[in-house]
């Protein structure tokens, strides 16, 4: 990626101009290091507070029992129902949006005409930038009653409703990553399969998708990571009861919604305060690993496609 034009620079003449150029370079370098600094600070800071939580409450407390009651007399800090709640919203959301997003990506890359794509693509891009609080509001205002009648759910706000809200923001992410992956497949593969007399759908299914499978799966993993980290939609639509349940129609409480809902009222320096940092650190590590995996997959795909070309 980096351009090799350095050798074209003229030899520097005077001591003063060399000094100025050096200073300019170090100025830009220091600015570049600010991202590194903040990433390190985020990790250091969250880990420090998480360790306070472990020394205050004990690591066992977070995984031993199955209740999250940080404000009651006999306070309990189990992260288990929160993890369960996060998965119960994120997994259905990823399944729904992978199905629809991949189909939309295939349509945009392989089927739609150039002009249709030029209209639809910016529209989807705009939708990816819609504030999540807007989706949360609509789910609350319109979706909740509609889905309650549709699924005959006991509680108006539940995990499935949050999953539907999440898929609205995940579909644009997954569809554009799928489209990128499919468009990166060399065109001569398509030509060759047509020449062999294969039909269009069979070509998509047997040639294009297998060639782009790593890019598509990276999109799904990235979407899952986004679903885990999303706050506003689950805070507004999931009902926020820290129940231990596997029923999608029950209300659940996610890690993100717990932090968002409780940090405002917590006493600073209390075990409850530190426990919020502990679950935040947990979330940070999980999303970090997920992003790393998807990046490795994309990197591998790039190398593979380079070889093909």
C-beta of 244 vs 293, nearer to other proteins = 293
Is 150 a residue that touches other proteins (CB under 8 A)? no
Q: What is the contact mask toward other proteins in residues 169 to 188, using x (rule: CB under 8 A)?
A: --x-----------x---x-
Kindly tell me the sign of the dihedral angle through the C-alpha atoms of 238, 236, 86, 75: negative
Minimum distance, C-beta of residue 74 to other proteins, in the bound complex (Å): 26
**How many other β-carbons are positioned within 10 Å of the β-carbon of residue 207?**
18
Q: What token pair was written down for 177?
A: 């990553």
Instruction: Work out which of 114, 115, 152, 307 binds other proteins, going by CB under 8 A.
Output: 114
Residue 213 or 299: the one with the smaller Cβ distance to other proteins is 299
* Residue of 65, 75, 247, 287 interacting with other proteins (CB under 8 A): 287
Closest CA to 165 of 102, 254, 77: 254
Place of tokens 């800090």: 77
124 binds other proteins (CB under 8 A): yes
Radius of gyration of the chain (CA): 24
Asked if 142 is part of the footprint of other proteins (rule: CB under 8 A), the reply reads: yes
Question: What whole-number distance in Å separates Cα of residue 238 and Cα of residue 252?
Answer: 6
Question: Judging by beta carbons within 10 Å of its beta carbon (0-12, 13-18, 19+), is residue 174 exposed, middle or buried?
Answer: buried
φ/ψ (deg, to 5) at 4:
-100, 75
Question: Least Å distance between CB 60 and other proteins?
Answer: 23
The mark string for 57-96 relative to other proteins (x by CB under 8 A, - otherwise) is: ----------------------------------------
Q: If binding means CB under 8 A, how many residues of this protein chain bind other proteins?
A: 96
Neighbours of 273 (CB within 10 A): 18
- Closest contact distance (angstroms) between CB of 53 and other proteins is 12
Among 19, 55, 69, 141, binds other proteins (CB under 8 A): 141
The contact mask relative to other proteins for 209-248 (x = CB under 8 A, - = no) is ----------------x--xxxxx--xx------------
Paired tokens of 162: 């949050």
Question: For the chain, give me the number of helices (H) and strands (E)?
Answer: 13, 2
136 in contact with other proteins (CB under 8 A): yes
Phi-psi label, residue 269: left if phi above 0, alpha if psi -120 to 50, beta otherwise: left
CB of 287 to other proteins, least distance (A): 6
Q: Rounded to a whole number, what is the largest CA-CA distance in the chain?
A: 80
Contact track, other proteins, 21-60, x by CB under 8 A: x--xx-xxx-xxxxxx-xx-xx--xx--x-----------
1 CB-near residues (< 8 Å, 6+ apart): none
In terms of CB distance, is 244 or 284 closer to other proteins?
A: 284
Q: Which of 58, 63, 71, 134 touches other proteins (CB under 8 A)?
A: 134
C-beta neighbour count of 184 within 10 angstroms: 17
Q: Determine contact, residues 177/97, Cβ cutoff 8 Å.
A: no
CB of 110 to other proteins, least distance (A): 8
Binder of other proteins out of 19, 59, 103, 213 (CB under 8 A): 103
**CB of 218 vs other proteins, minimal distance in Å:** 13
Chain residues 193-212 in contact with other proteins, contact rule CB under 8 A: 194, 197-202
């Amino acid at each position: 990626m980096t351009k090799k034009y350095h050798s074209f620079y003229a030899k520097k003449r005077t001591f003063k101009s060399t000094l100025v150029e050096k200073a300019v370079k170090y100025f830009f370098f220091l600015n570049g290091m600010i991202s590194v600094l903040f990433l390190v600070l985020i990790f250091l800071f969250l880990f420090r507070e998480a360790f306070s939580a472990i020394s205050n409450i004990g690591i066992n407390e977070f995984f031993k029992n199955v209740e999250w009651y940080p404000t009651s007399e006999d306070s309990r800090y189990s992260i288990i129902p929160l993890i369960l709640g996060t998965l119960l919203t994120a997994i259905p959301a990823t399944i729904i949006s992978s199905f629809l997003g991949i189909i939309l990506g295939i349509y945009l890359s392989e089927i739609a005409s150039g002009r249709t794509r030029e209209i639809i693509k910016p529209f989807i891009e705009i939708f990816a930038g819609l504030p999540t609080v807007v989706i949360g509001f609509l789910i609350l205002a319109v979706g909740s009653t509609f889905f309650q009648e549709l699924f005959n759910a006991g509680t108006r706000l539940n995990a499935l409703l949050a999953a539907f809200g999440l898929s609205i923001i995940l579909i644009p992410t997954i569809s554009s990553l799928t489209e990128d992956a499919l468009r990166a497949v060399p065109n001569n593969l398509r030509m060759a399969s047509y020449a062999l007399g294969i039909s269009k759908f069979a070509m998509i299914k047997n040639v294009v998708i297998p060639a782009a499978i790593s890019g598509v799966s990276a999109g799904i993993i990235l979407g899952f990571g986004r679903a885990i980290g999303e706050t506003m939609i689950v805070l507004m639509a999931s009902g926020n009861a820290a129940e231990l349940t596997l029923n999608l129609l029950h209300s659940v409480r996610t890690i993100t919604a717990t932090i968002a809902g409780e940090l405002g009222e917590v006493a600073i320096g209390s075990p409850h305060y530190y426990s919020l940092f502990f679950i935040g650190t947990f979330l940070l590590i999980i999303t970090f690993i997920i992003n790393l995996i998807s990046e490795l997959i994309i990197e591998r795909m790039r190398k593979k496609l380079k070889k093909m070309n």
